[in-house]
Amino acid sequence: MALVSIRDLTVSLPPGADRALAVEDVALEIGRKEIVCIVGESGSGKSVTAHAVLGLLPRGVRAERGSILFDGTDLLKETQDAMRRRRGCDIAMIFQDPMAALNPVMAIGRQISEQIRTHRTISEHEALEQAKGLLEEMGLRDVAGLLKAYPHQLSGGQRQRVMIAMALSLSPRLLIADEPTTALDVTTQAQILKLIKRLQEAREMSVLLITHDFGVVADMADRVAVMRHGRVLESGAANEVLSNPAHSYTRALIAAVPRGEGRLAPPSDMRPLVQVTGLTKRFRRGGLFSRSQATVAVDGISLTLSRGETLGVVGESGSGKSTLARCVIRLLDPEAGTITLDGADIAHMRESALRPLRRRIQMVFQDPFSSLNPRQTVGDILIAGPRAFGEDTKKARSQAADMLRLVGLNPQTIDRLPHEFSGGQRQRIGLARALMLKPEVLIADEPVSALDVTVQAQVLKLLDDVRRQMNLAMLFITHDMRVAAQICHRVMVMRHGKVVEEGPTHDIFNTPSSDYTKALLAAIPGHGLL
Amino acid sequence: MGFVRRFLARPTTVVGLGVFLLIVAIALGAPLIFARGPFSIVGMPLLPPGAPGLLAGSDVLGRDMAVGLAYGARISLLVGITSTFGAVGIGVLFGAIAGYYGGVIDDLLMRVTEFFQIIPSFVLLMVLVAFLQPSLTSTVIGIALISWPQVARVVRGEFLSLRSREFVQAARVLGMRDMAIIFTQILPNALPPIVVVSSMMVGTAILTESALSFLGLGDPNLLSWGSMIGGSRSAMWVAWWTTVLPGLAVMITVLALNFIGDGLNDALNRRRRR
């Protein structure tokens, strides 16, 4: 018999939500010693399902029908108190953002020992010994020091390992992991996934893994359920679903996973439009009364970019890729080096001299929510650029309508506010804003990393179409090698502010020369399986 | 309208708004209802409320308390609202520039702000008003000068967090000028806390004006709630209404403004949770 069997689970949302039911008639089995993945995009109901198993549905969200049998007992019929005893003991959970899940003012050792002592009557000392053993099992080094450390002193990967250690401290039979690696770098993600798999085998537990990434499914899952709009569309053995998806949506999801082919033909005109040499940017911390410390974010970077060409800058967090982008567009002032745009050095130009050149180099931002002014209509957002260059409002508005059409939005939506649009549509508005000034260079800073995978594919295609139509030179910043492979002619890999490797996309993917690039490629989830 | 419904969600806000509008109506209508003015003597001094023709009794000089309260509302509201406008004007300018530019400019402007914050503000106010000669104008200027640092702090905080938002960076990339970014991009997003702080500040200004007038530093040609209390304090033990009624008027007005402020806070700050 399966460890968990969910039958006809229907969960209602409070009145006024965008739909009545969060999930409807969900059926799912989690066998013993099995990893089951729930895959879906945002709003699919995958997290609600997981939280229902834990009995942790948000206020106003209620399970209406169905049952969740855990080893024969229906969890939906358990009392609050019985569920509290089960959490941590029988069923444990790890979250997407370990920083938010850890107590920032309590040392790691105490957090773990407190968790153990909530459920077991043992001494503080014994609990700490157990905590030490657990952290060692997670593959962490310098455990004695870690026990005394606070969450902010740890790296993202270390924090997630601590979270897993806490979750496993009472040897639960089911571990629920809600997007446990989404906030992590790709190499760290690979390590954490490997760790979860190893622990699952060693401890013979079941894992319910929630993800949006079919690559992760390919690496991890024994069985998989695909969810959309609160329903399970398809479920079955992972290799079967992957190789022979029955539902068209599953096929679309799998097809939307970027493959890393890198077959874009290089542009015909290879005269450099942007040339960066020896660009350096340091950040100083501390002020008037404390000694300042400097970190070198960008360390002597050089690059060239031609019309019609996309150069991908790939790196993990802290590699300096975003700082590089912000220096090139002069949102930050570089310390040393030159940035020539069509012959003019803009690296150290004064803002007043730079302003006329600004229209030639534009940017698309990462966050679809904070990149649009929430109090301005789409029309006002789009005409801000032309208005700053003294263009007539009426003319700018008609251009804005055309631009909305170009990016695939209905021009009738011109008087709406940003919150009425979805994440993908907002990124289209952000792109339209950048294109309003008819730029020659477009800098895209992680433009698709906050989007669902099917939306991601659409926006990438739009970027590439626009690049072709307007003969743009594009500097494309991303942490995702697969995304870079889809859209870039050349790729530059960055680490610790320096260039590790640079070359045509195809070469970087097939014959990488540096160990770091090889490690990045090997860490791609679903590597080789998809 | 989601905003109106959220604003009126608390019963206290509805009460506060009702009371405030009533006070405004009394203040505006005072010269029409009581054409003879607050200083005219109408009968024996210290008549209790309810004496013939005297709804709120008479004061130490035999003036009608009800007329005094109605005219006092004019002064209180005028001082409260104009000095708040002044304080918000200075505070927004200082806070916006300090928060947007940061660095040395921020340090400099914040030191000036702190200079005003570390001096006991009421003492500063008394010195200012005495120096400028007690008058309505000097009261308003004085109160504005001691209240603006609070606004500047709030605005600076909002600007510090908003300036790093991507839409502000996008505006810079589009070639917009700093002043245009500050006033068209950031300020509209910083308005909710400014509105909330200002509504509370009107109440504080009314209290401060009363305290000044009580001490005899108000405009000698105008009757305000504070000067009514101050002028009657010798009669406090024999005629309670001469001090309690203007005191209640101050309290009710300030309470109403605080209720409105709470309601605005709920209504305006909800959508900012994102």
Domain boundaries, chain A: 1-90+174-257, 94-171, 306-332+351-360+439-530, 364-438
Mean pLDDT of all residues in A202-214? 92
The complex scores an ipTM of 0.80
What pLDDT was estimated at residue A1? 77
Residue from B88, B38, B86, B80 nearest B63 by CA: B38
Q: Do domains A1-90+174-257 and A306-332+351-360+439-530 have the same CATH topology?
A: yes
Residues in A closer than 8 angstroms to B101, CB to CB, are none
Give the orientation angle of helix B136-163 with respect to helix B103-118, to 10 degrees. 140
What pLDDT was estimated at residue B42? 85
Determine, for residues A388 and B107 on separate chains, whether the beta-carbon distance falls below 8 Å.
no
Residues in A closer than 8 angstroms to B170, CB to CB, are 363, 365, 371, 430, 433-434
Residues of A with CB under 8 A from a CB of B: 288, 329, 331, 355-356, 358-359, 361-363, 365-367, 369-376, 384-385, 388-389, 430, 433-434, 437
What pLDDT was estimated at residue B269? 66
What confidence tens digit (pLDDT) does each residue in B17-36 have? 999 999 999 999 999 988 88
CATH of A306-332+351-360+439-530, one of 2.60.40.10, 3.40.640.10, 3.30.9.100, 3.40.50.300: 3.40.50.300
Residue of chain A whose alpha carbon sits nearest to that of B163:
A370
Determine, for residues B169 and A365 on separate chains, whether the beta-carbon distance falls below 8 Å.
yes
Smallest Cα distance from A331 to chain B, Å: 7
What pLDDT was estimated at residue B1? 52
**Sign of the torsion angle spanned by Cα atoms B99, B100, B101, B105:** negative
Give the orientation angle of helix B187-214 with respect to helix B225-232, to 10 degrees. 20
pLDDT tops 80 at residue A399: yes
Residue A439 identity: P
Sequence-distant (6+) residues with CB within 8 A of A444 are: A363, A364, A463, A474, A475, A476, A477
Determine, for residues B174 and A385 on separate chains, whether the beta-carbon distance falls below 8 Å.
yes
What pLDDT was estimated at residue A388? 92
What confidence tens digit (pLDDT) does each residue in A329-358 have? 999 999 999 999 988 999 999 988 999 999
Structure tokens, B186: 């950031």
Determine, for residues B170 and A366 on separate chains, whether the beta-carbon distance falls below 8 Å.
no
Residues of B with CB under 8 A from a CB of A: 107, 165-167, 169-177, 180, 184-185, 188-189, 271, 274
List the single residue in A355, A430, A434 with the smallest CB-CB distance to B175.
Answer: A355
Neighbours of B247 (CB within 10 A): 16
Mean pLDDT of all residues in B217-245? 89
pLDDT tops 70 at residue B87: yes
Residue of chain A whose alpha carbon sits nearest to that of B192:
A375
Residue of chain A whose alpha carbon sits nearest to that of B172:
A331
Residues in B closer than 8 angstroms to A374, CB to CB, are 189, 271
Q: How much is the mean pLDDT over chain A?
A: 89
Residues in B closer than 8 angstroms to A370, CB to CB, are 165-167
pLDDT tops 80 at residue A258: no
Structure tokens, A307: 């019309």
Smallest Cα distance from A23 to chain B, Å: 24
Higher pLDDT, A526 or B180: B180
pLDDT tops 80 at residue B77: yes
List the single residue in B174, B180, B271 with the smallest CB-CB distance to A358.
Answer: B174
Contacts 24+ apart (CB under 8 A), B29-36: B29/B70, B30/B67, B30/B70, B30/B71, B30/B73, B30/B74, B33/B70, B34/B64, B34/B66, B34/B67, B34/B70, B34/B71, B36/B67
Residues in A closer than 8 angstroms to B188, CB to CB, are 373, 375-376
DSSP string, A299-350: EEEEEEEETT-EEEEE--TTSSHHHHHHHHTTSS--SEEEEEETTEE-TT--
Residue A139 banded pLDDT, cuts 50, 70, 90: confident
What pLDDT was estimated at residue B272? 43
Smallest Cα distance from A372 to chain B, Å: 5
DSSP annotation of B186: I
Quick one: how far is CA A395 from the chain centroid? 38
pLDDT tops 60 at residue A288: no
Residue of chain B whose alpha carbon sits nearest to that of A328:
B173
Are β-strands A490-495 and A498-504 bridged in parallel, bridged antiparallel, or unpaired? antiparallel
Alpha carbons B231 and B270: distance in angstroms, whole number: 46
Determine, for residues B173 and A388 on separate chains, whether the beta-carbon distance falls below 8 Å.
no
Mean pLDDT of all residues in A459-464? 93
Higher pLDDT, B55 or A426: A426
pLDDT tops 80 at residue B189: yes
Mean pLDDT of all residues in A130-136? 91
Mean pLDDT of all residues in A308-323? 92
Residue of chain A whose alpha carbon sits nearest to that of B274:
A369
Mean pLDDT of all residues in B205-216? 90
Smallest Cα distance from A289 to chain B, Å: 12
List the single residue in B166, B188, B271 with the smallest CB-CB distance to A370.
Answer: B166
Mean pLDDT of all residues in B7-24? 92
CATH topology of domain A1-90+174-257: Rossmann fold (3.40.50)
pLDDT tops 50 at residue B117: yes
Share of chain A above pLDDT 70, in %: 95
List the single residue in A359, A363, A374 with the smallest CB-CB distance to B170.
Answer: A363
Determine, for residues A288 and B107 on separate chains, whether the beta-carbon distance falls below 8 Å.
yes
pLDDT tops 60 at residue A530: no
Residue of chain B whose alpha carbon sits nearest to that of A332:
B169
Neighbours of B164 (CB within 10 A): 10
Are β-strands A62-70 and A4-12 bridged in parallel, bridged antiparallel, or unpaired? antiparallel
Look at residue A207 and give its three-state secondary structure: strand
What pLDDT was estimated at residue B261? 87
Structure tokens, A69: 């049998």
What pLDDT was estimated at residue B43? 84
Determine, for residues A433 and B172 on separate chains, whether the beta-carbon distance falls below 8 Å.
no
> Which domains are assigned to chain B?
2-273 (1.10.3720.10)
Are the C-beta atoms of residues B160 and B102 closer than 8 Å to each other?
yes
Residue of chain B whose alpha carbon sits nearest to that of A373:
B167
Are the C-beta atoms of residues B65 and B240 closer than 8 Å to each other?
no
pLDDT tops 80 at residue A29: yes
Residues in B closer than 8 angstroms to A362, CB to CB, are 173-174
Alpha carbons A298 and A488: distance in angstroms, whole number: 22
Residue with tokens 């024994």: A222
Determine, for residues B180 and A388 on separate chains, whether the beta-carbon distance falls below 8 Å.
yes
Residues in B closer than 8 angstroms to A369, CB to CB, are 274
List the single residue in B166, B176, B180 with the smallest CB-CB distance to A371.
Answer: B166
What confidence tens digit (pLDDT) does each residue in A176-190 have? 999 988 878 888 899
Determine, for residues A373 and B185 on separate chains, whether the beta-carbon distance falls below 8 Å.
yes
Determine, for residues B174 and A373 on separate chains, whether the beta-carbon distance falls below 8 Å.
no
Mean pLDDT of all residues in A269-277? 86
pLDDT tops 90 at residue A324: yes
pLDDT tops 50 at residue A503: yes
**Residue of B6, B167, B194 to mutate, testing the A interface (most A Cβ within 10 Å of its Cβ):** B167
DSSP annotation of A363: E
Determine, for residues B170 and A437 on separate chains, whether the beta-carbon distance falls below 8 Å.
no
Residue B274 banded pLDDT, cuts 50, 70, 90: very low
**Residue of B3, B5, B108, B166 to mutate, testing the A interface (most A Cβ within 10 Å of its Cβ):** B166
Residue from A523, A501, A527, A505 nearest A514 by CA: A501
What pLDDT was estimated at residue A262? 56
Determine, for residues A430 and B170 on separate chains, whether the beta-carbon distance falls below 8 Å.
yes
Mean pLDDT of all residues in B89-113? 94
> Taking CA B224 as the corner, what is the angle to CA B222 and CA B229, rounded to the nearest 5 degrees?
125
**Least confident window among A220-234, A292-306, A315-329, A468-482:** A292-306
Smallest Cα distance from A394 to chain B, Å: 18
Residue B273 banded pLDDT, cuts 50, 70, 90: very low
pLDDT tops 70 at residue A412: yes
- Could you give the residue ranges of the DSSP H alpha helices within A122-224? 124-137, 143-148, 156-168, 186-203, 214-220
Smallest Cα distance from A359 to chain B, Å: 6
Determine, for residues B167 and A373 on separate chains, whether the beta-carbon distance falls below 8 Å.
yes
